[in-house]
Amino acid sequence: MKACVDIGGTKVAVSLSHGREPAWRRTEPTAKDGGLAAQILRLIDAARTDAGQPTITEVGVSSCGPFVVRGGMTEVAAPNICPGASVPLEAPLRERFAKVRIENDAVAALEAERRWGALQGFDHCAYVTWSTGIGVGLCVDGRILRGKNGNAGHAGHTWVSDGAFERCGCGNTGDVEALVSGSAIARRFDGGPARLFDAAQEGDDAAAAEVDRLCDVMGRLLHNLVVTLDLQAIALGGSVFWHQQRWLLPRLRERLERGGPATLTRGARLLPAGLGLEVGDYAALALVA
């Protein structure tokens, strides 16, 4: 049996699997007092009890980042979990389990989409989540990009505006996440993304103009990924995109096609995530599949 762990800024989900389907799922609000690893071990034990105490052979962890590496072991340094610090993750798990693999959640989602979803057959591709935050996983020449600490793909923290005053949790002002993430939209509009998009579709000109500005920023990010890495396809997921994809997808495609040079953008595809809102559940499973 394999354990699949999904760590987000608001919740931790643990499930067990002996095939493709995750089962015996347990979830709790994310521990933000430094006890993240202890919480994961407790949830794995609870899931094992539900499943009849099977032996766990591997653990795959899909986690929000960024990460730091200390003594060869990955720690989580996500500002919404442990502001100004990092908490051990890999070391406590390796004390219990022989095989542990930890990846950024967008990287894990990318692997799931390449294995089971919209990115099957693509060797030059990305997964982008537009949700509470903005996450990116990257693949070039059939190889997942990770970087020195496993943080490759944090394109949500790239600057796109000098004139913006919105501040990201990472400290940047005017980066993609500060401008278009679900949490940023909620800070600026009562009712958050759902209310904003409803108003735009009901004919509110100010709301429609704001949605266009959001698409300008996200379209800029997608264009930069395509032309920098020469991508074939990008799969889009996350709650903000998924619930409004019929409204957002054509606008994002138009902005990608509008940008040049055409030699680099021609034929690049923007696709809804094949695993939909379940991509998070399958992301950790993809790490041990």
Convert the pLDDT of each residue in 161-173 to its tens digit: 776 677 777 777 8
Closest by CA to 149, choosing from 62, 77, 229, 225, is: 77
CA distance 280 to 289: 14
Question: 260-272: buried (b, 16+ CB within 10 Å) or exposed (e) per residue?
Answer: eeeebbeebbbbb
The pLDDT value given to residue 159: 86
- Whole-prediction pTM: 0.93
Residues near 76 by beta carbon (within 8 Å), at least 6 away in sequence: 7, 36, 63, 64, 65, 67, 82, 86, 87, 89
**Regions of the chain with pLDDT less than 70:** 163-164
Check residue 20 and give its pLDDT: 75
The pLDDT assigned to 10 comes to 87
Second CATH level (architecture) for the domain 118-273: 2-Layer Sandwich (3.30)
pLDDT at 143: 97
The domain limits of the chain are 2-104+280-288, 118-273
CA distance 184 to 174: 11
CATH class entry, domain 2-104+280-288 = alpha beta
Q: Which two tokens stand for residue 16?
A: 């067990």
Helix ranges restricted to H, the chain: 36-51, 90-94, 105-116, 176-180, 182-188, 192-201, 205-229, 239-243, 245-258, 262-265, 279-288
> Do the domains spanning 2-104+280-288 and 118-273 agree at the CATH topology level?
yes
